[in-house]
Structures are given as structure tokens and as C-alpha cells.
């Protein structure tokens, strides 16, 4: 990579390894193993593999390595490890570095599976987890202790789009020597510079904006070379959550167009949020790019734009939300996000169904709440679709 390349150039060219054929499009090395010329070569490679030497696809693969190097360059991270899914990245980042007796502080407003890992999995292995309101720096300050090893949060929470101050939380965490792990899915690599803002480790579900076309599950952990190669890689390569070469190829091609898609999706989200604001059937419209978002100033400073997702709360509760969803003709009902297609989700009955009512209340997951992940369709078609569906709600 040339050091002066901007993000959009890095997303297209960084990390490429061309074979002897000089192919334009990245090759898919769909192989789980690699041949050694001699037994001595095998021995030497197991002792220490060079940058162009691979052993077994669970450890690494040329196509996967291209994806890792491209996303690391894009994100401004020293290195990256690609994983089988976003949850493999979240779980791997945490469990590779934690041990019994450690303390973790986490934001409470999390993607359902992240909450499960922190609440149900880590605690089973003797890690103590404290939850705080991620938007309240005083709560972070109060919860951090000398034995806090890691803090975890989504820079924009799902589905209520609360924004966490990456620089502020990182400064507090670093005071006690804790590692800052940020799940940056909603902010996207396009709008967030989490590492430059203080995060030590960034995780993505590549399933979302990086693929962005609903094809493959994947994830990635980004951090210092030391953390990725000494802590994450040994854990991931032996526990089995590595990315497949075919997925890595899908994600490489996804990275090439991600910037265009995310900009178009963000423009659509902004336009729809503005069009729906103040609608008589809605109790609230939550979008980080609206001036009335409680953290609008932080959004401007941290991301510049509001991202690709908004949430609306139908005043008529679950019945109204279901009538609205069922009346849509362009947008679809599903639970992915970051896709080229506009996707709507009813969190209370799907992604967050298993949460007890008091936790739903605390997180603002009301019966009328609908999450809208904006796609790249024509904004007028989308706005007309939503307004017509609201009229029937």
C-alpha cells in the first residue's frame, strides 16, 4: 500500500497478491492445504511460516490474507484476522484475551448475540461483567476498576442507535490499563475511524455493509500486529472460527463497492428520517443524523454522518408496527442490515425476542419500534413506500 492512499483507493487496491498469471480480480484459493517440496520444508514452515507461506486454511489462506490486509489498510489497523461470522469476531476478540477472574465493563445496549456472549458465556468461565449505559461517561468511570481487562461496546447501538463516545470511553479505559474493543458495525468503516479515536481493537460483522449484498456470513478482528498475531491468531486458528477462502473473496469484492453503497444508503437514511420526522403515526424517529438526536454533536464529531440505519416507533404499538411492515411493497421484512436492499425488522418480536420485558423497557425496545436498514434503491420510491405503509398502519 502506498502510505498516501485515501480510504477509497485502499478499499479497491490494498492487500492484493497476484499469482503468476497477473489476474485483475483477486483469485480464490479454494484449498484447505498447501504442498511442501520436502519434509524439511514442512518442518521449517511449521516452525515459522513466512509471509507467503501457508499451512492449513484454518491458520491462513492467500485469499483470506488479501481480505485481512485490505480491511486493515482501510481501517488504519496494523493487522487483522478474518473470522467465520461477526459473532466469531466478537467472541474471539473477547475470549482470546480474557481469563477467569478478569473484569469487563460493557455497554448494556447491544446486539442480541453480543449480549448473550457477555451475559451468559463469559460469566460461565469466571469473567465478571458490569453493564453500563454506554452514553454516560460517568457510569463508565464508576464501573472501571484496576482489574478491568477489557471494555466492550457498539459505537452505535442496535436497535436504538445510541452513540458511544469512543475517545471519551477509551481515555477512561486506558487509565486503568483496559483494552478497548469496539463493535463498529453500525458506524461502518466508511464513517468511523475508531482506531484513530482511541479504540485498541475493532470488530466487524462483514455480513453487513462489507458484503452488503446478503450473500455470506463473515467477520474480522482488527488491532495491533502484536494483539492479532500473538493473542487472536493462536486462539482462532485452534478453536476453528476462521473465514473460508470463498467468503474472503466475496468480502474482497464487497470492499471494492462498499464506499459507494454506504454513501448511497446513508443519503437514503437521512432523507427517509427527515421525511418521517413528526409523522402523526410515529411516537419518535431515531436517527443519528437528525439534529434532534440526543447525541447529535457527538455524531458530528465522531462520524460526520448518521449512518445507514434509522429506527421509528409507531404510536399504535405492535399491531400498528405489523400493519406497517405488512403494507410495504419495496422494502422487505428480514433481520440483516447494511444490505443493498432496504430491510425492516421488528426487534421486540425477532432479534430481541428472548429478552425479558424489563430489559426491553430499559433498552427502549418498545412494541412499536421498527428498525430500518436503508438500501441503495431510489430514495423517492422508498419514501413513498414508507409513507403509504404508514397510512395503512
Ligand X SMILES: *Cc1c(COP(=O)(O)O)cnc(C)c1O
CA neighbor of 308 nearest in space, from 285, 340, 276:
340
Query: Taking contact as CB under 6 A, which single stretch among the options 19-27, 202-210, 255-263, 355-363 is the one that binds ligand X?
Result: 202-210
The position carrying cell 463497492 is 257
Nearer to ligand X, 127 or 343 (CB): 343
Question: Total residues at the site for ligand X (CB under 6 A)?
Answer: 16
Beta strands in 172-258 (DSSP E): 179-183, 201-205, 219-223
Nearer to ligand X, 90 or 386 (CB): 90
Signed CA dihedral, 41, 43, 46, 50: sign only = negative
61 within 8 A of 194, measured Cβ to Cβ: no
- When asked if residue 205 is in the footprint of ligand X (CB under 6 A), the reply is yes
Q: Provide the minimum distance between the beta carbon of 119 and ligand X in the complex, in angstroms, as a whole number.
A: 15
Q: Which of 130, 207, 265, 270 binds ligand X (CB under 6 A)?
A: 207
The position carrying cell 475517545 is 167
Q: Provide the minimum distance between the beta carbon of 162 and ligand X in the complex, in angstroms, as a whole number.
A: 12
Q: Which of 68, 75, 102, 154 binds ligand X (CB under 6 A)?
A: 154
By rule CB under 6 A, what string of x and - marks binding of each residue 168-187 to ligand X?
A: ---------------x-x--
- Provide the total of helices (H) and of strands (E) in the chain, helices listed first: 15, 12
- When asked if residue 114 is in the footprint of ligand X (CB under 6 A), the reply is yes
How far is it, in rounded angstroms, from Cα 67 to Cα 184? 18
Nearer to ligand X, 86 or 134 (CB): 86
Q: Provide the minimum distance between the beta carbon of 275 and ligand X in the complex, in angstroms, as a whole number.
A: 25
181 within 8 A of 199, measured Cβ to Cβ: yes
Scan residues 64-93 and list those touching ligand X (CB under 6 A): 85-87, 90
Q: Provide the minimum distance between the beta carbon of 158 and ligand X in the complex, in angstroms, as a whole number.
A: 5
How far is it, in rounded angstroms, from Cα 243 to Cα 199? 23
CA neighbor of 68 nearest in space, from 16, 3, 5, 22:
16
- When asked if residue 299 is in the footprint of ligand X (CB under 6 A), the reply is no
How far is it, in rounded angstroms, from Cα 93 to Cα 81? 10
Contacts to ligand X by CB under 6 A: 85-87, 90, 111, 113-114, 154, 158, 183, 185, 205, 207-208, 217, 219
Amino acid at each position: 500500500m502506498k502510505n498516501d492512499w485515501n480510504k477509497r483507493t485502499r478499499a479497491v487496491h490494498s492487500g492484493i497478491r497476484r499469482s503468476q498469471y497477473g489476474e485483475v480480480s483477486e483469485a480464490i484459493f479454494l484449498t484447505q492445504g498447501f504442498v511442501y517440496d520436502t519434509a524439511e520444508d514442512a518442518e521449517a514452515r511449521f516452525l515459522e511460516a513466512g509471509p507467503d507461506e501457508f499451512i492449513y486454511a484454518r491458520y491462513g489462506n492467500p485469499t483470506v490474507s488479501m481480505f485481512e490486509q485490505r480491511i486493515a489498510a482501510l481501517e488504519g489497523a496494523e493487522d487483522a484476522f478474518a473470522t467465520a461470522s461477526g459473532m466469531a469476531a466478537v467472541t474471539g476478540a473477547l475470549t482470546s484475551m480474557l481469563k477467569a477472574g478478569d473484569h469487563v465493563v460493557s455497554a448494556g445496549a447491544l446486539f442480541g448475540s453480543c449480549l448473550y456472549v457477555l451475559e451468559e458465556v463469559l460469566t460461565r468461565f469466571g469473567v465478571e461483567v458490569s453493564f453500563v449505559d454506554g452514553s454516560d461517561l460517568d457510569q463508565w468511570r464508576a464501573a472501571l476498576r484496576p482489574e478491568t481487562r477489557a471494555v466492550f461496546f457498539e459505537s452505535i447501538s442496535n436497535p436504538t442507535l445510541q452513540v458511544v463516545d469512543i475517545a471519551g470511553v477509551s481515555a477512561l479505559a486506558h487509565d486503568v490499563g483496559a483494552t478497548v474493543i469496539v463493535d463498529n458495525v453500525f458506524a461502518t468503516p466508511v464513517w468511523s475511524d475508531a482506531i484513530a479515536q482511541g479504540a485498541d481493537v475493532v470488530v466487524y460483522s462483514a455480513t453487513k455493509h462489507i458484503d452488503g449484498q446478503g450473500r455470506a456470513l463473515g467477520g474480522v478482528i482488527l488491532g495491533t500486529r502484536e494483539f492479532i498475531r500473538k493473542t487472536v491468531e493462536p486462539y482462532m486458528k485452534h478453536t476453528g472460527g476462521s473465514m473460508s477462502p470463498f467468503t474472503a473473496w466475496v468480502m474482497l469484492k464487497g470492499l471494492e463497492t462498499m464506499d459507494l453503497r454506504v454513501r448511497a444508503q446513508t443519503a437514503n437514511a437521512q432523507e427517509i428520517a427527515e421525511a418521517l420526522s413528526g409523522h402523526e403515526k410515529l411516537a419518535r424517529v431515531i436517527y443519528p443524523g437528525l439534529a434532534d438526536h440526543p447525541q447529535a454533536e457527538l455524531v458530528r464529531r465522531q462520524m460526520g454522518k448518521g449512518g445507514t440505519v434509522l429506527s421509528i416507533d409507531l404510536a399504535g404499538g405492535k399491531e400498528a408496527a405489523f400493519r406497517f411492515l405488512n403494507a410495504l411493497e419495496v422494502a422487505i421484512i428480514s433481520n440483516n442490515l447494511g444490505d443493498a436492499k432496504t430491510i425492516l425488522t421488528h426487534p421486540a418480536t425477532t432479534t430481541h425476542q428472548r429478552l425479558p420485558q424489563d430489559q426491553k423497557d430499559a433498552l427502549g425496545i418498545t412494541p412499536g419500534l421498527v428498525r430500518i436498514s436503508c438500501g441503495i434503491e431510489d430514495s423517492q420510491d422508498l419514501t413513498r413506500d414508507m409513507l403509504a405503509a404508514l397510512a395503512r398502519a
